[in-house]
């Protein structure tokens, strides 16, 4: 089993920045994928960004050039979000993948003036 704890959400004005972090615990593989998805009210959950332990990253089209995903070890992943827009408002979920998908509880990000 894998448990995920997210932190860093909150309220920010348009154009501002936030940094999300996620830490995994339990049975963690040395090679895995971790990333972030988000879900806004009335919409489907969508990919924000994922990154492998080897550093290969994939971004959703709507965040390319504004968000950066990174990781230093197999247990953590960080999402730096810049130039935030009201459309970025959503619950952000951390996901760990190795043989199965594990999800965090989610952290709210609200972009509003």
pLDDT at 3: 97
Contact (Cβ atoms closer than 8 angstroms) between residue 77 and residue 36? yes
Of 26, 27, 23, the closest CA to residue 4 belongs to 23
**Using one digit for the tens of pLDDT, what is the confidence trace for 32-88?**
999 999 999 999 999 999 999 998 999 999 999 999 999 989 999 999 999 999 999
pLDDT at 79: 98
- The phi and psi torsions of 92 (rounded to 5 degrees) equal -100, 130
């Amino acid at each position: 089993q894998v448990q995920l704890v997210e932190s860093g959400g909150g309220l920010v004005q348009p154009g501002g920045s936030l940094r999300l972090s996620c830490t995994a615990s339990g049975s963690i593989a040395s090679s895995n994928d971790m990333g972030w998805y988000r879900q806004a009210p009335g919409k489907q959950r969508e990919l924000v960004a994922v990154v492998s332990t080897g550093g290969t990253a994939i971004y959703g089209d709507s965040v390319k050039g504004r968000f950066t995903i990174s990781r230093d070890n197999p247990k953590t992943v960080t999402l730096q979000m810049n130039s935030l827009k009201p459309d970025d408002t959503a619950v952000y979920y951390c996901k760990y993948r190795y043989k199965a998908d594990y999800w965090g509880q989610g952290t709210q990000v609200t972009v509003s003036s």
